[in-house]
Amino acid sequence: MKRAVIFGIAWLALPWHAAVAQDVPGIEICTRESRLDRRTGCLQSNVEFLQQVVAKNALDAQQKLTTANRDIAALREQLAGANRDVAALKDALAAVQAHIEQLAKASPPAGPPQPGAKPDTKPDAKPEGKPAPGK
């Protein structure tokens, strides 16, 4: 009984104007219509709905394509900048290597000491790690 009362109140609370017009966009099954004019109208409604869906999807696809093209152009610009940076770094590396080779050619090779040469010692050199006596 309680269920019936709640159902009755809910039924009265529903807006009646919504029940009159139930044109929900979408594909309808038109083969159930027995009258030719209603079947034709149903088919026309389906065609219009499909045309709207196709137009919407085409617009969405075009927008995505435009966005992708903009992204590709930006990435190409970034790639060109990166290539310029790599070329500049290669040039700098070649210059540094050439400078190192010039320095290597200009200085004598450091090898074992000559048998007749005296070791290079400085008289005022302090031993490292030990404090001076008296301090």
pLDDT along the chain (135 residues), means of 10: 58 48 70 87 92 97 98 98 98 96 82 63 58 56
Residue 120 in any domain: the answer is: no
Residue 14 in any domain: the answer is: yes
Residue among 42, 45, 24, 18 nearest 32 (CA): 42
Domain count, the chain: 1
Q: Are 32 and 16 in contact (CB under 8 A)?
A: no
- State the residue range of the domain holding 42: 2-106
Residue 48 in any domain: the answer is: yes
Residue among 28, 58, 24 nearest 46 (CA): 28
Residue 53 in any domain: the answer is: yes
